[in-house]
């Protein structure tokens, strides 16, 4: 039985003892994912949204491109939203193909369209100029979707920014031209997509988005006689990273979208318009934890806890100043009476998992769990400073663990270098 430890509103699906046992086999740092949490959440999500006609969630692979997790989500009835060639391959590797893939890319190279066509993915174009590009390089498919950028009509939010400053999507006018062009080129079935916010906790923002897309669906039918087959509300549903923040209520959101659907869709003869989402964060985010050890404590003008992880393992705090909750294992009951910057080892002063965080006193050897790393965590890793990406571990429902990705080794880092060529290479010392 897994023990749930409640910590100021943030829970851990494992105990310190369990983590010590796991760390004896798989050295820190590692990301650990809670299969039970992922499955239960996926079921709740699917159940709530199933009130929407033809509902389908395409899991945004970019959030966590681990095929073991994608396979779990496939079992729970999800498709995959891909944005690159390797993501298409990952989906294919777990048997997600055809229209169970939404290919929502941007600035797309030709070979990616070719691959998407080859496996029958639904192609969601980012720009009107991509219509000719797709036709020339991969042919016009029977089904085609466009990403809409509402520009000044919507406000956007912190991570994704102001829509009129965002590089994505078609303008409203371009949508109409685009559908006409694609129909002329042989497309028979049409979809409409948008994504205006990221990590948004206000469900009303998504209800507004749904309404906006339903209104366009009505106008497309009126102006072009085209009945859209689906709208895709994109991803961007937020999660409560901070203790005390409120999680999105799936039932409230689905009912709010359905209310708008009833207003716009049946009265305009647009049924059965299907409703899709392509969420990543809300599906796996809260069920991942970066487990890392304190290896140095430093007192200068501030107090620092140096961990054995770095931005190579979790970039969000450094990149977006994002809050990720930290639990010091075994010290859950103690007072948070110290203030620390919790750092990684990069030669970058923004390599900090937390700044001025109130925590219990930390000693070298303490193990820290950094919360909510199940989406946009490991997947955003990189190798600056020669730092290696960590392993990924799956905590199964029975408490056992499986390593679902090994840690990178130095050989992986060097794999793209040819040291034999280096021996033959003559470096000239020019000048100075
Ligand atoms: N669909 C498209 C076209 C997207 O660009 C994204 C995320 C998603 C779906 C999934 O969004 P989600 O539901 O996971 O929020 N790396 C950042 C956020 C950038 C998201 C980029 N696109 C982060 O760590 O917060």
Q: Which of 270, 285, 300 is the last residue of a domain?
A: 285
250, 381: one domain:
no
In a domain? residue 294: yes
Instruction: With respect to residue 186, please indicate whether it lies within any of the assigned structural domains.
Output: yes
Backbone angles phi, psi at 343, to 5 degrees: -115, 165
Query: Residue 79 above 80 pLDDT?
Result: yes
Q: Please tell me whether residues 365 and 231 are part of one structural domain.
A: no
CA-nearest residue for atom 23, ligand 1, is: 376
Task: Say whether 279 is catalytic.
Answer: no
Q: Are 281 and 293 members of one domain?
A: no
84 within a domain of the structure (yes/no):
yes
Q: Residue of the nearest CA to atom 25 in ligand 1?
A: 376
Question: Could you tell me if 159 and 235 are in contact, meaning their C-beta atoms sit under 8 angstroms apart?
Answer: no
Q: Are residues 156 and 197 in the same domain?
A: yes
Please indicate, yes or no, if residue 24 is contained in any of the structural domains: no
Task: Tell me the per-residue pLDDT of 5-18, one tens digit each, with 9 for 90 and over.
Answer: 444 479 999 999 99
Predicted confidence at residue 9, as pLDDT, reads: 76
Can you give the pLDDT at residue 158? 76
Based on the domain organization, do 301 and 272 belong to the same domain? no
- Shared-domain flag, residues 254 and 399: no
Least confidently predicted of 115-119, 154-158, 287-291: 154-158
Same domain, 270 and 143: yes
Look up the domain containing 76 and give its range: 35-285
Task: Look up residue 59 and give its two tokens.
Answer: 């899991």
In a domain, residue 419? The reply is no
Any idea what the Cα angle at residue 318 is, between residues 84 and 4, rounded to 5°? Answer: 85
Nearest to 32 by CA among 68, 57, 75, 80: 68
Same domain for 313 and 267: no
SS3 at position 342: strand
pLDDT at 230: 98
- 224 and 135 both lie in a single domain: yes
In a domain? residue 410: yes
pTM: 0.96
Give the model confidence (pLDDT) of 254-282 as tens digits: 999 999 999 999 999 999 999 999 999 99
Name residues whose C-beta falls within 8 Å of residue 365's C-beta, 6 or more positions apart in sequence. Answer: 293, 294
Residue nearest to atom 16 of ligand 1 (CA): 376
**Alpha carbons 214 and 97: distance in angstroms, whole number:** 27
For residue 159, the domain's CATH number is: 3.20.20.10
**Around 222, how many Cα atoms within 13 Å sit in the side-chain half-sphere?**
10
Same domain, 209 and 81: yes
Backbone phi and psi for residue 247, each to the nearest 5 degrees, phi listed first: -70, 150
Q: What is the mean pLDDT of residues 328-338?
A: 96
Among 255, 285, 315, the domain boundary falls at: 285
Tell me the residue ranges of DSSP E strands in 19-150.
30-34, 56-60, 79-82, 101-104, 122-125, 143-148
Please work out whether the CB of residue 166 comes within 6 Å of at least one atom of ligand 1. no
Please give the Cα distance from 299 to 316 (Å, whole number). 25
Is residue 426 domain-resident? Answer: no
**Residue at 208 is within a domain:** yes
**Residues in the chain, total:** 432
Tens digits of per-residue pLDDT, 164-220?
888 999 999 999 999 999 999 999 999 999 999 999 999 999 999 999 999 999 999
Q: Which two tokens mark 196?
A: 């205006």
In sequence order, what E strands does 181-300 have?
189-194, 230-232, 274-277, 288-299
Q: Which of these is catalytic: 82, 279, 347, 432?
A: 347
CB-ligand 1 contact for 278 (6 Å cutoff): yes
Q: How far apart are CA 307 and CA 182, in angstroms?
A: 53
How far out from the chain centre does Cα 87 lie? 12
Of 257, 285, 313, at which residue does a domain stop? 285
pLDDT band at residue 3 under the 50/70/90 scheme: very low
> Residue 350 sits in a domain of what CATH number?
2.40.37.10
The answer on 301 and 268 residing in a single domain is no
For residues 193 and 309, state if they share a domain: no
Distance from Cα 195 to the centre of ligand 1, integer Å: 9
Domain count, the chain: 2
Alpha-carbon distance of 182 to 180, in angstroms, equals 6
């Amino acid at each position: 039985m897994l023990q749930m430890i409640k910590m100021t509103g943030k829970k851990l699906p494992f105990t310190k003892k369990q983590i010590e046992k796991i760390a004896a086999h798989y050295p820190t740092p590692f990301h650990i994912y809670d299969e039970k949490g992922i499955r239960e959440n996926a079921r709740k999500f699917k159940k709530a949204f199933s009130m929407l006609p033809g509902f389908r969630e395409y899991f945004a692979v970019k959030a966590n491109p681990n095929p073991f997790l994608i396979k779990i989500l496939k079992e729970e009835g999800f498709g995959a939203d891909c944005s690159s060639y390797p993501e298409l391959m990952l989906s294919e590797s777990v048997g997600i193909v055809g229209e169970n893939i939404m290919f929502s890319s941007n600035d797309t190279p030709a070979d990616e369209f070719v691959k998407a066509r080859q496996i029958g993915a639904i192609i969601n174009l980012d720009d009107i100029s991509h219509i000719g590009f797709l036709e020339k390089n991969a042919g016009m498919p029977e089904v085609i979707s466009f990403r809409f950028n509402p520009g000044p009509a919507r406000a956007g939010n912190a991570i994704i920014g102001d829509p009129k400053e965002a590089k994505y999507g078609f303008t409203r006018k371009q949508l109409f031209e685009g559908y006409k062009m694609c129909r002329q080129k042989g497309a028979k079935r049409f979809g409409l997509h948008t994504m205006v916010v990221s990590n948004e906790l206000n469900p009303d923002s998504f209800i507004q988005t749904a309404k906006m897309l339903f209104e366009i669906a009505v106008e497309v039918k009126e102006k072009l006689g085209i009945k859209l087959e689906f709208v895709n509300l994109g991803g961007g549903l937020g999660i409560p990273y901070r203790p005390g923040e409120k999680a999105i209520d799936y039932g409230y959101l689905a009912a709010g979208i359905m209310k708008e659907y009833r207003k716009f869709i049946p009265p305009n003869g647009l049924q059965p318009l299907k409703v899709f989402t392509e969420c990543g964060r809300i599906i796996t985010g809260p069920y991942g934890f970066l487990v890392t050890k304190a290896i140095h404590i430093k007192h200068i003008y501030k107090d620092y806890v140096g961990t054995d992880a770095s931005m190579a393992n979790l970039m969000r705090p450094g990149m977006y100043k994002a809050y990720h909750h930290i639990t010091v294992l075994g010290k859950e009951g103690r007072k948070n009476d110290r203030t620390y910057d919790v750092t990684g080892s990069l030669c970058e002063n923004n390599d900090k998992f937390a700044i001025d965080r109130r925590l219990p006193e930390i000693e070298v050897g303490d193990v820290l769990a950094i919360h909510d790393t199940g989406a946009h965590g490991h997947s955003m890793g990189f190798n600056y400073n020669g730092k290696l990406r960590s392993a990924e571990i799956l905590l199964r429902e029975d408490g056992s663990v499986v390593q679902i990705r090994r840690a990178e080794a130095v050989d992986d880092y060097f794999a793209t270098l040819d040291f034999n060529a280096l021996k033959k290479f003559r470096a000239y010392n020019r000048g100075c």
